Amino acid sequence: MTQTSMHPVFPVILCGGSGTRLWPLSRKSFPKQFVPIIEDKSLLQLTLERVSGLANQQAICVAADEHRFMVTDALQAAGVSGPVLLEPSARNTAAAMALAALYVSSHALQAQLGNVILSADALLLFCPSDHHIPDSEGFQVTVHQGVPAAEAGAIVTFGVVPSFPSTAYGYIEQGNQRVDGALHVARFIEKPNAEAAAELILKGGVLWNAGIFLVKVGTLIQALEAHAPDILASVSEAMQAATSEIPATSGTSHLGPIAFVRPEKQAFSSCRSESIDFAIMEHFKDIAVVPFKGQWSDVGSWNAVADLTEPDQNQNRIHGQGVAHHSRNTYIYADHRPVVALGTEDLLIIDTADALLVAHRDHAEQVKEVVARLEQADYAQAVTHRKVARPWGWYDSIDIGERFQVKRIGVKPGASLSLQKHHHRAEHWIVVKGTAEVTRGEETFLLTENESTYIPIGEVHRLKNPGKLPLEMIEVQSGSYLGEDDIERLGDLYGR
Protein backbone atom coordinates (compact mmCIF):
# COMPACT_ATOMS: atom_id res chain seq x y z
CA MET A 1 0.00 0.00 0.00
CA THR A 2 1.29 3.45 -0.87
CA GLN A 3 1.95 5.75 2.06
CA THR A 4 -0.09 8.90 1.39
CA SER A 5 0.31 10.88 4.61
CA MET A 6 2.78 13.65 5.36
CA HIS A 7 3.96 11.70 8.39
CA PRO A 8 4.30 7.91 8.41
CA VAL A 9 1.99 5.80 10.56
CA PHE A 10 3.95 3.75 13.07
CA PRO A 11 2.17 0.82 14.79
CA VAL A 12 2.33 0.31 18.56
CA ILE A 13 0.96 -3.05 19.71
CA LEU A 14 -0.36 -3.21 23.27
CA CYS A 15 0.30 -6.77 24.43
CA GLY A 16 -1.12 -6.65 27.96
CA GLY A 17 -4.15 -8.49 29.29
CA SER A 18 -4.61 -11.83 31.02
CA GLY A 19 -7.30 -13.27 28.75
CA THR A 20 -9.00 -15.24 31.55
CA ARG A 21 -12.31 -15.25 29.64
CA LEU A 22 -10.78 -17.82 27.26
CA TRP A 23 -9.76 -20.22 30.04
CA PRO A 24 -8.70 -23.03 29.91
CA LEU A 25 -6.93 -22.35 26.59
CA SER A 26 -5.72 -18.94 27.74
CA ARG A 27 -4.17 -18.58 31.21
CA LYS A 28 -2.35 -15.86 33.10
CA SER A 29 1.05 -17.30 32.23
CA PHE A 30 0.00 -17.74 28.58
CA PRO A 31 -2.62 -15.06 27.72
CA LYS A 32 -4.91 -15.30 24.71
CA GLN A 33 -2.85 -12.96 22.50
CA PHE A 34 -0.06 -15.58 22.46
CA VAL A 35 -2.25 -18.66 21.96
CA PRO A 36 -2.36 -20.08 18.38
CA ILE A 37 -6.14 -19.76 17.95
CA ILE A 38 -6.57 -19.09 14.22
CA GLU A 39 -4.84 -21.26 11.60
CA ASP A 40 -2.04 -22.07 14.08
CA LYS A 41 -1.24 -18.37 14.44
CA SER A 42 -1.57 -16.27 17.57
CA LEU A 43 -3.68 -13.12 17.61
CA LEU A 44 -0.49 -11.14 18.25
CA GLN A 45 1.18 -12.59 15.14
CA LEU A 46 -1.93 -11.84 13.07
CA THR A 47 -1.99 -8.27 14.43
CA LEU A 48 1.66 -7.75 13.52
CA GLU A 49 1.07 -9.12 10.04
CA ARG A 50 -1.95 -6.83 9.63
CA VAL A 51 0.02 -3.65 10.43
CA SER A 52 3.35 -4.71 8.93
CA GLY A 53 2.80 -2.75 5.73
CA LEU A 54 2.31 0.57 7.53
CA ALA A 55 5.94 1.11 8.55
CA ASN A 56 8.18 -1.21 6.54
CA GLN A 57 7.73 -4.28 8.77
CA GLN A 58 8.49 -2.29 11.92
CA ALA A 59 6.48 -1.95 15.12
CA ILE A 60 6.81 -1.11 18.79
CA CYS A 61 5.38 -3.66 21.25
CA VAL A 62 4.49 -2.88 24.86
CA ALA A 63 4.36 -6.05 26.96
CA ALA A 64 4.90 -7.55 30.39
CA ASP A 65 8.49 -8.49 31.13
CA GLU A 66 7.55 -12.15 31.74
CA HIS A 67 6.10 -12.39 28.22
CA ARG A 68 9.09 -10.89 26.40
CA PHE A 69 10.17 -14.07 24.63
CA MET A 70 6.62 -14.86 23.50
CA VAL A 71 6.53 -11.39 21.93
CA THR A 72 9.90 -12.06 20.28
CA ASP A 73 8.59 -15.32 18.82
CA ALA A 74 5.54 -13.53 17.38
CA LEU A 75 7.66 -10.74 15.89
CA GLN A 76 9.96 -13.23 14.20
CA ALA A 77 7.03 -15.33 12.93
CA ALA A 78 5.41 -12.20 11.44
CA GLY A 79 8.67 -10.93 9.92
CA VAL A 80 8.46 -7.72 11.95
CA SER A 81 11.18 -6.03 14.00
CA GLY A 82 11.43 -3.19 16.48
CA PRO A 83 11.77 -2.43 20.19
CA VAL A 84 9.79 -4.24 22.90
CA LEU A 85 8.99 -1.95 25.85
CA LEU A 86 8.75 -4.15 28.93
CA GLU A 87 6.37 -3.08 31.69
CA PRO A 88 7.60 -4.10 35.16
CA SER A 89 3.94 -4.26 36.26
CA ALA A 90 0.55 -3.85 34.61
CA ARG A 91 -0.63 -0.22 34.71
CA ASN A 92 -3.36 -0.21 32.04
CA THR A 93 -3.44 1.50 28.65
CA ALA A 94 -2.73 5.13 29.63
CA ALA A 95 0.70 4.23 31.02
CA ALA A 96 1.42 1.79 28.18
CA MET A 97 0.66 4.43 25.55
CA ALA A 98 2.70 7.00 27.46
CA LEU A 99 5.67 4.60 27.38
CA ALA A 100 5.56 4.38 23.59
CA ALA A 101 5.08 8.13 23.09
CA LEU A 102 7.97 9.00 25.40
CA TYR A 103 10.20 6.36 23.80
CA VAL A 104 9.59 7.84 20.34
CA SER A 105 9.96 11.40 21.64
CA SER A 106 13.28 10.65 23.34
CA HIS A 107 14.58 8.90 20.22
CA ALA A 108 13.32 11.54 17.81
CA LEU A 109 16.73 12.89 16.81
CA GLN A 110 18.66 9.66 16.46
CA ALA A 111 16.22 6.83 15.71
CA GLN A 112 15.36 5.49 12.31
CA LEU A 113 13.55 2.19 11.91
CA GLY A 114 13.59 0.87 8.36
CA ASN A 115 12.70 3.86 6.19
CA VAL A 116 10.63 5.43 8.99
CA ILE A 117 12.20 8.29 10.93
CA LEU A 118 10.77 8.70 14.41
CA SER A 119 9.97 12.27 15.46
CA ALA A 120 7.61 14.27 17.63
CA ASP A 121 5.36 14.58 14.56
CA ALA A 122 5.19 10.81 13.99
CA LEU A 123 1.74 9.28 13.99
CA LEU A 124 1.36 6.34 16.35
CA LEU A 125 -1.33 3.73 15.69
CA PHE A 126 -2.15 2.00 18.99
CA CYS A 127 -3.64 -1.47 18.45
CA PRO A 128 -4.63 -4.13 20.98
CA SER A 129 -2.79 -7.38 20.33
CA ASP A 130 -5.81 -9.66 20.69
CA HIS A 131 -8.24 -8.51 17.98
CA HIS A 132 -9.13 -10.46 14.85
CA ILE A 133 -9.53 -8.37 11.69
CA PRO A 134 -9.23 -10.61 8.62
CA ASP A 135 -9.38 -7.76 6.06
CA SER A 136 -5.89 -6.30 6.49
CA GLU A 137 -6.07 -4.14 3.38
CA GLY A 138 -9.45 -2.69 4.37
CA PHE A 139 -8.11 -1.98 7.84
CA GLN A 140 -5.10 -0.10 6.46
CA VAL A 141 -7.35 1.94 4.16
CA THR A 142 -9.47 2.91 7.18
CA VAL A 143 -6.36 3.88 9.16
CA HIS A 144 -5.22 6.21 6.37
CA GLN A 145 -8.65 7.85 6.34
CA GLY A 146 -7.90 9.05 9.86
CA VAL A 147 -4.48 10.50 9.04
CA PRO A 148 -5.59 14.07 8.14
CA ALA A 149 -7.46 14.46 11.44
CA ALA A 150 -4.52 13.08 13.43
CA GLU A 151 -2.07 15.36 11.63
CA ALA A 152 -4.33 18.31 12.52
CA GLY A 153 -4.01 17.48 16.22
CA ALA A 154 -6.99 15.23 16.91
CA ILE A 155 -6.96 11.90 18.71
CA VAL A 156 -8.56 9.58 16.18
CA THR A 157 -10.39 6.46 17.27
CA PHE A 158 -11.79 3.77 15.01
CA GLY A 159 -15.32 2.51 15.57
CA VAL A 160 -16.67 -0.75 14.21
CA VAL A 161 -20.02 -0.68 12.44
CA PRO A 162 -22.12 -2.93 14.75
CA SER A 163 -23.76 -6.09 13.43
CA PHE A 164 -25.91 -6.81 16.48
CA PRO A 165 -26.80 -5.17 19.84
CA SER A 166 -23.77 -6.34 21.82
CA THR A 167 -23.53 -5.80 25.58
CA ALA A 168 -19.82 -6.69 25.59
CA TYR A 169 -18.56 -3.47 23.97
CA GLY A 170 -18.71 0.24 24.65
CA TYR A 171 -20.24 2.43 21.96
CA ILE A 172 -19.31 5.68 20.21
CA GLU A 173 -22.08 8.01 19.12
CA GLN A 174 -21.15 9.72 15.85
CA GLY A 175 -21.37 13.46 15.37
CA ASN A 176 -21.17 15.60 12.25
CA GLN A 177 -18.50 15.20 9.60
CA ARG A 178 -15.30 17.18 10.10
CA VAL A 179 -13.49 19.17 7.45
CA ASP A 180 -10.69 16.58 7.52
CA GLY A 181 -13.09 13.82 6.49
CA ALA A 182 -13.45 12.07 9.85
CA LEU A 183 -16.49 12.37 12.12
CA HIS A 184 -16.84 14.24 15.39
CA VAL A 185 -17.51 12.11 18.49
CA ALA A 186 -20.78 13.13 20.14
CA ARG A 187 -20.21 10.93 23.20
CA PHE A 188 -18.77 7.66 24.49
CA ILE A 189 -21.24 5.15 25.93
CA GLU A 190 -20.23 2.55 28.51
CA LYS A 191 -21.16 -1.11 27.93
CA PRO A 192 -24.98 -1.10 27.88
CA ASN A 193 -27.45 -3.71 29.06
CA ALA A 194 -29.39 -5.69 26.45
CA GLU A 195 -32.32 -3.27 26.29
CA ALA A 196 -30.10 -0.20 25.97
CA ALA A 197 -27.94 -1.90 23.32
CA ALA A 198 -31.03 -2.70 21.25
CA GLU A 199 -32.18 0.92 21.51
CA LEU A 200 -28.78 2.17 20.35
CA ILE A 201 -28.82 -0.08 17.28
CA LEU A 202 -32.37 0.98 16.40
CA LYS A 203 -31.47 4.65 16.79
CA GLY A 204 -28.41 4.27 14.55
CA GLY A 205 -25.36 6.49 14.32
CA VAL A 206 -23.36 4.42 16.81
CA LEU A 207 -20.21 2.32 16.52
CA TRP A 208 -18.54 -0.27 18.71
CA ASN A 209 -15.52 1.17 20.49
CA ALA A 210 -12.61 -0.94 19.24
CA GLY A 211 -9.94 0.69 21.42
CA ILE A 212 -7.73 1.55 18.41
CA PHE A 213 -6.21 5.04 18.34
CA LEU A 214 -4.21 7.13 15.87
CA VAL A 215 -2.47 10.15 17.36
CA LYS A 216 0.57 12.33 16.86
CA VAL A 217 3.30 11.79 19.46
CA GLY A 218 3.24 15.43 20.53
CA THR A 219 -0.55 15.47 20.78
CA LEU A 220 -0.62 12.47 23.10
CA ILE A 221 2.11 13.86 25.37
CA GLN A 222 0.30 17.21 25.59
CA ALA A 223 -2.98 15.45 26.39
CA LEU A 224 -1.33 13.45 29.16
CA GLU A 225 0.29 16.60 30.52
CA ALA A 226 -3.10 18.36 30.63
CA HIS A 227 -5.34 15.54 31.89
CA ALA A 228 -3.11 12.89 33.53
CA PRO A 229 0.09 14.71 34.61
CA ASP A 230 0.79 12.20 37.38
CA ILE A 231 0.81 9.30 34.90
CA LEU A 232 3.08 11.22 32.54
CA ALA A 233 5.44 12.14 35.40
CA SER A 234 5.76 8.55 36.65
CA VAL A 235 6.32 7.12 33.17
CA SER A 236 8.77 9.92 32.31
CA GLU A 237 10.82 9.15 35.41
CA ALA A 238 10.77 5.46 34.55
CA MET A 239 11.88 6.08 30.96
CA GLN A 240 14.66 8.48 31.95
CA ALA A 241 16.27 5.62 33.90
CA ALA A 242 15.36 2.91 31.36
CA THR A 243 17.87 0.31 30.24
CA SER A 244 18.10 -1.31 26.82
CA GLU A 245 19.56 -4.59 25.63
CA ILE A 246 19.66 -6.74 22.54
CA PRO A 247 19.63 -10.33 23.83
CA ALA A 248 21.79 -12.82 22.01
CA THR A 249 18.64 -14.91 21.58
CA SER A 250 16.32 -12.17 20.30
CA GLY A 251 17.10 -12.75 16.66
CA THR A 252 17.87 -10.31 13.88
CA SER A 253 16.84 -9.84 10.27
CA HIS A 254 17.52 -7.41 7.46
CA LEU A 255 15.30 -5.07 9.50
CA GLY A 256 17.64 -5.13 12.48
CA PRO A 257 17.55 -6.68 15.96
CA ILE A 258 14.65 -6.93 18.38
CA ALA A 259 15.63 -4.86 21.43
CA PHE A 260 14.26 -5.02 24.98
CA VAL A 261 13.71 -1.66 26.70
CA ARG A 262 13.10 -1.80 30.47
CA PRO A 263 11.66 1.26 32.26
CA GLU A 264 12.89 1.74 35.84
CA LYS A 265 10.78 -0.57 37.99
CA GLN A 266 10.05 1.53 41.08
CA ALA A 267 9.02 4.66 39.19
CA PHE A 268 6.79 2.78 36.78
CA SER A 269 5.16 0.71 39.51
CA SER A 270 4.23 3.90 41.36
CA CYS A 271 2.16 5.00 38.35
CA ARG A 272 -1.62 5.17 38.69
CA SER A 273 -3.38 2.39 36.80
CA GLU A 274 -6.04 3.80 34.48
CA SER A 275 -7.30 3.23 30.95
CA ILE A 276 -6.75 5.81 28.25
CA ASP A 277 -10.54 6.15 28.00
CA PHE A 278 -10.88 7.53 31.52
CA ALA A 279 -7.51 9.28 31.70
CA ILE A 280 -7.71 11.16 28.39
CA MET A 281 -10.63 10.43 26.08
CA GLU A 282 -13.34 11.66 28.45
CA HIS A 283 -11.57 15.05 28.78
CA PHE A 284 -9.81 15.75 25.48
CA LYS A 285 -11.75 18.16 23.28
CA ASP A 286 -10.56 17.21 19.78
CA ILE A 287 -11.58 13.59 19.23
CA ALA A 288 -12.49 12.17 15.83
CA VAL A 289 -13.82 8.78 14.80
CA VAL A 290 -13.51 6.83 11.55
CA PRO A 291 -15.95 3.95 10.96
CA PHE A 292 -14.52 0.54 10.08
CA LYS A 293 -16.98 -1.56 8.07
CA GLY A 294 -15.04 -4.84 7.94
CA GLN A 295 -15.24 -7.94 10.09
CA TRP A 296 -13.90 -7.38 13.60
CA SER A 297 -13.82 -9.31 16.85
CA ASP A 298 -12.01 -8.74 20.12
CA VAL A 299 -12.14 -12.54 20.62
CA GLY A 300 -13.27 -11.75 24.13
CA SER A 301 -15.30 -14.87 24.92
CA TRP A 302 -15.72 -18.46 23.80
CA ASN A 303 -18.82 -17.40 21.89
CA ALA A 304 -16.61 -15.04 19.88
CA VAL A 305 -14.08 -17.83 19.25
CA ALA A 306 -16.88 -20.17 18.16
CA ASP A 307 -18.12 -17.59 15.66
CA LEU A 308 -14.76 -17.84 13.85
CA THR A 309 -15.62 -21.44 12.83
CA GLU A 310 -18.16 -22.22 10.11
CA PRO A 311 -21.26 -24.02 11.47
CA ASP A 312 -22.72 -27.26 10.15
CA GLN A 313 -26.40 -27.68 9.27
CA ASN A 314 -27.26 -27.94 12.99
CA GLN A 315 -25.24 -24.83 13.91
CA ASN A 316 -22.59 -26.96 15.60
CA ARG A 317 -19.03 -25.69 15.30
CA ILE A 318 -16.10 -28.07 15.68
CA HIS A 319 -12.40 -27.40 16.17
CA GLY A 320 -10.11 -30.43 16.17
CA GLN A 321 -11.33 -33.89 17.17
CA GLY A 322 -14.86 -32.99 18.25
CA VAL A 323 -17.94 -35.01 17.31
CA ALA A 324 -21.47 -33.62 17.76
CA HIS A 325 -24.27 -36.19 17.55
CA HIS A 326 -27.97 -35.23 17.83
CA SER A 327 -26.69 -31.85 19.05
CA ARG A 328 -27.50 -28.25 18.16
CA ASN A 329 -25.61 -24.98 18.51
CA THR A 330 -22.74 -26.69 20.32
CA TYR A 331 -19.09 -25.64 20.02
CA ILE A 332 -16.34 -28.19 20.68
CA TYR A 333 -12.65 -27.29 20.96
CA ALA A 334 -10.68 -30.55 21.07
CA ASP A 335 -7.02 -30.44 20.05
CA HIS A 336 -5.80 -33.37 22.14
CA ARG A 337 -8.32 -36.23 21.96
CA PRO A 338 -11.80 -37.12 20.64
CA VAL A 339 -14.55 -35.24 22.48
CA VAL A 340 -18.15 -36.34 21.84
CA ALA A 341 -21.23 -34.20 22.50
CA LEU A 342 -24.41 -36.30 22.47
CA GLY A 343 -27.82 -34.65 22.55
CA THR A 344 -26.46 -31.29 23.67
CA GLU A 345 -27.75 -27.81 22.89
CA ASP A 346 -26.24 -24.34 23.32
CA LEU A 347 -23.07 -25.66 24.96
CA LEU A 348 -19.40 -24.66 24.84
CA ILE A 349 -17.01 -27.59 25.39
CA ILE A 350 -13.34 -26.65 25.65
CA ASP A 351 -10.91 -29.51 26.22
CA THR A 352 -7.21 -29.06 26.96
CA ALA A 353 -4.54 -31.44 28.23
CA ASP A 354 -5.18 -30.66 31.89
CA ALA A 355 -8.55 -28.91 32.22
CA LEU A 356 -12.05 -29.10 30.74
CA LEU A 357 -14.69 -26.37 30.49
CA VAL A 358 -18.37 -27.15 29.84
CA ALA A 359 -20.52 -24.03 29.79
CA HIS A 360 -23.87 -22.85 28.51
CA ARG A 361 -23.44 -20.22 25.81
CA ASP A 362 -25.37 -17.70 27.88
CA HIS A 363 -22.72 -17.88 30.61
CA ALA A 364 -19.61 -17.42 28.45
CA GLU A 365 -18.87 -13.99 29.98
CA GLN A 366 -18.66 -15.54 33.47
CA VAL A 367 -15.65 -17.78 32.77
CA LYS A 368 -13.33 -15.24 34.44
CA GLU A 369 -15.34 -15.64 37.66
CA VAL A 370 -14.64 -19.37 37.59
CA VAL A 371 -10.92 -18.69 37.10
CA ALA A 372 -10.96 -16.47 40.20
CA ARG A 373 -12.51 -19.33 42.18
CA LEU A 374 -9.87 -21.75 40.92
CA GLU A 375 -7.13 -19.32 41.94
CA GLN A 376 -8.61 -18.99 45.42
CA ALA A 377 -8.64 -22.78 45.68
CA ASP A 378 -4.96 -22.80 44.60
CA TYR A 379 -5.46 -24.82 41.42
CA ALA A 380 -2.31 -24.50 39.31
CA GLN A 381 -4.46 -24.82 36.17
CA ALA A 382 -5.91 -21.37 36.87
CA VAL A 383 -2.54 -19.82 36.03
CA THR A 384 -0.36 -22.25 34.08
CA HIS A 385 -0.74 -24.91 31.42
CA ARG A 386 0.64 -28.41 31.68
CA LYS A 387 2.69 -27.42 28.65
CA VAL A 388 4.80 -24.40 29.62
CA ALA A 389 6.49 -21.99 27.20
CA ARG A 390 10.13 -21.15 27.85
CA PRO A 391 12.48 -18.80 25.95
CA TRP A 392 14.40 -21.82 24.70
CA GLY A 393 11.28 -23.85 23.78
CA TRP A 394 8.78 -25.66 26.02
CA TYR A 395 8.20 -28.51 28.43
CA ASP A 396 5.12 -30.66 29.03
CA SER A 397 4.64 -32.43 32.38
CA ILE A 398 3.03 -35.64 31.15
CA ASP A 399 3.11 -37.64 34.42
CA ILE A 400 3.91 -37.03 38.07
CA GLY A 401 3.83 -39.17 41.20
CA GLU A 402 5.60 -39.68 44.50
CA ARG A 403 9.32 -38.95 43.97
CA PHE A 404 9.13 -38.90 40.15
CA GLN A 405 8.03 -36.69 37.25
CA VAL A 406 8.10 -37.26 33.49
CA LYS A 407 8.41 -34.36 31.03
CA ARG A 408 8.54 -33.92 27.28
CA ILE A 409 11.01 -31.16 26.44
CA GLY A 410 11.31 -29.27 23.16
CA VAL A 411 14.31 -27.03 22.40
CA LYS A 412 14.41 -24.59 19.46
CA PRO A 413 17.27 -24.85 16.94
CA GLY A 414 20.32 -23.05 18.32
CA ALA A 415 18.75 -22.55 21.77
CA SER A 416 20.04 -23.86 25.08
CA LEU A 417 18.89 -24.21 28.65
CA SER A 418 20.83 -22.52 31.43
CA LEU A 419 23.98 -24.03 32.91
CA GLN A 420 22.47 -25.37 36.14
CA LYS A 421 22.34 -27.94 38.88
CA HIS A 422 19.68 -29.42 41.18
CA HIS A 423 20.03 -30.17 44.87
CA HIS A 424 17.16 -32.62 45.27
CA ARG A 425 16.67 -34.52 42.01
CA ALA A 426 18.48 -36.56 39.39
CA GLU A 427 17.46 -36.63 35.71
CA HIS A 428 17.46 -39.19 32.92
CA TRP A 429 17.38 -37.77 29.37
CA ILE A 430 16.26 -39.72 26.28
CA VAL A 431 16.42 -38.03 22.87
CA VAL A 432 13.45 -38.86 20.63
CA LYS A 433 13.95 -36.28 17.85
CA GLY A 434 16.94 -34.22 16.70
CA THR A 435 20.37 -33.86 18.26
CA ALA A 436 21.29 -32.76 21.79
CA GLU A 437 24.56 -31.25 22.96
CA VAL A 438 24.92 -32.22 26.62
CA THR A 439 27.26 -30.62 29.12
CA ARG A 440 27.67 -32.83 32.21
CA GLY A 441 30.30 -31.79 34.67
CA GLU A 442 33.58 -31.37 32.77
CA GLU A 443 32.48 -33.25 29.63
CA THR A 444 30.42 -32.19 26.60
CA PHE A 445 29.02 -34.73 24.15
CA LEU A 446 26.28 -35.27 21.54
CA LEU A 447 23.20 -37.47 21.79
CA THR A 448 21.03 -38.42 18.82
CA GLU A 449 17.69 -40.21 18.56
CA ASN A 450 17.24 -43.22 20.89
CA GLU A 451 20.34 -42.31 22.91
CA SER A 452 20.22 -41.35 26.58
CA THR A 453 22.24 -40.04 29.53
CA TYR A 454 21.98 -39.61 33.31
CA ILE A 455 22.46 -36.42 35.37
CA PRO A 456 23.19 -37.21 39.05
CA ILE A 457 21.95 -35.00 41.89
CA GLY A 458 24.17 -31.92 42.25
CA GLU A 459 25.91 -32.35 38.85
CA VAL A 460 26.38 -29.18 36.77
CA HIS A 461 24.72 -29.61 33.38
CA ARG A 462 23.33 -27.90 30.30
CA LEU A 463 21.20 -28.99 27.34
CA LYS A 464 21.62 -27.35 23.92
CA ASN A 465 20.17 -27.92 20.46
CA PRO A 466 23.11 -27.45 18.05
CA GLY A 467 21.09 -28.44 14.99
CA LYS A 468 18.72 -26.74 12.55
CA LEU A 469 15.71 -28.88 13.49
CA PRO A 470 13.74 -28.91 16.78
CA LEU A 471 15.05 -31.15 19.53
CA GLU A 472 12.61 -33.28 21.55
CA MET A 473 13.47 -35.47 24.48
CA ILE A 474 11.91 -37.25 27.44
CA GLU A 475 13.15 -36.28 30.89
CA VAL A 476 12.52 -38.55 33.88
CA GLN A 477 13.13 -36.80 37.21
CA SER A 478 13.51 -38.66 40.48
CA GLY A 479 14.19 -37.35 43.96
CA SER A 480 12.79 -35.96 47.18
CA TYR A 481 11.69 -32.61 45.71
CA LEU A 482 10.74 -31.91 42.08
CA GLY A 483 9.67 -28.25 42.14
CA GLU A 484 10.75 -25.82 39.42
CA ASP A 485 12.50 -23.69 42.04
CA ASP A 486 15.12 -26.41 42.60
CA ILE A 487 17.32 -24.85 39.93
CA GLU A 488 20.61 -23.12 40.67
CA ARG A 489 21.55 -21.28 37.49
CA LEU A 490 25.28 -20.78 36.90
CA GLY A 491 24.95 -19.20 33.45
CA ASP A 492 21.96 -18.19 31.32
CA LEU A 493 21.51 -16.60 27.90
CA TYR A 494 18.11 -15.22 28.89
CA GLY A 495 19.10 -13.14 31.90
CA ARG A 496 17.07 -15.14 34.41
Residue range 368-394, pLDDT digits in tens: 999 999 999 999 999 988 888 888 999
Q: Do 201 and 172 reside in the same domain of the chain?
A: yes
Q: Do 269 and 306 reside in the same domain of the chain?
A: no
Q: Do 195 and 320 reside in the same domain of the chain?
A: no
Q: Is residue 496 part of a domain?
A: no
Q: Do 62 and 89 reside in the same domain of the chain?
A: yes
Q: Is residue 382 part of a domain?
A: no
Average pLDDT over residues 10-35: 91
Q: Do 204 and 326 reside in the same domain of the chain?
A: no
pLDDT in tens, 159-170: 999 999 998 899
Mean pLDDT of the chain: 91
Average pLDDT over residues 210-219: 96
DSSP reduced 3-state for 74: helix
The number of C-alpha atoms within 13 Å of 308 and in the hemisphere containing its C-beta is 19
Q: Do 287 and 311 reside in the same domain of the chain?
A: no
Count of the separate structural domains present in the chain: 3
Q: Is residue 265 part of a domain?
A: yes
Residue 3, pLDDT > 80, answer no
CB 191 within 8 A of CB 246: no
Cis status, amide bond into 128, omega within 30 of 0? no
Alpha helices, H only, 107-210: 136-145, 147-151, 194-203
Q: Do 191 and 121 reside in the same domain of the chain?
A: yes
User: How far is 122 from 127, CA to CA, in rounded Å?
Assistant: 16
Q: Do 100 and 146 reside in the same domain of the chain?
A: yes
User: How far is 100 from 102, CA to CA, in rounded Å?
Assistant: 6
Q: Is residue 240 part of a domain?
A: yes
pLDDT band for 407, please (50, 70, 90 cuts).
very high
Q: Is residue 469 part of a domain?
A: yes
| Whole-number Cα distances in Å, 198 to 7, 163, 166, 291 | 40, 11, 8, 19
User: How far is 444 from 436, CA to CA, in rounded Å?
Assistant: 10
DSSP secondary structure letters along 448-478: -TT-EEEE-TT--EEEE--SSS-EEEEEEEE
pLDDT band for 254, please (50, 70, 90 cuts).
very low
pLDDT of residue 327: 98
Last residue of a domain, one of 336, 357, 376: 376
Last residue of a domain, one of 343, 376, 409: 376
Q: Is residue 47 part of a domain?
A: yes
Handedness of CA 462, 466, 467, 468 (dihedral sign): positive
pLDDT in tens, 106-149: 865 444 455 455 666 889 999 999 999 999 999 999 999 999 99
Above pLDDT 90, what percent of the chain? 81
Average pLDDT over residues 231-241: 96
Q: What is the CATH number of the domain that holds 446?
A: 2.60.120.10
Q: Do 308 and 163 reside in the same domain of the chain?
A: no
Q: Is residue 353 part of a domain?
A: yes
User: How far is 408 from 421, CA to CA, in rounded Å?
Assistant: 19
345-382 exposure pattern, b = at least 16 Cβ within 10 A, e = fewer: eebbbbbbeebebebebeebeebeebbeebeeeeeebb
CB 416 within 8 A of CB 392: yes
Last residue of a domain, one of 341, 376, 411: 376
Q: Do 24 and 119 reside in the same domain of the chain?
A: yes
Above pLDDT 70, what percent of the chain? 94
| DSSP H or E segment with residue 407 | strand 404-411
Q: Is residue 2 part of a domain?
A: no
Q: Do 121 and 216 reside in the same domain of the chain?
A: yes
pLDDT band for 349, please (50, 70, 90 cuts).
very high
Q: Do 269 and 391 reside in the same domain of the chain?
A: no
Q: What is the CATH number of the domain that holds 208?
A: 3.90.550.10
Domain boundaries, position 331: 302-376
pLDDT of residue 255: 47
Amino acid found at 15: C
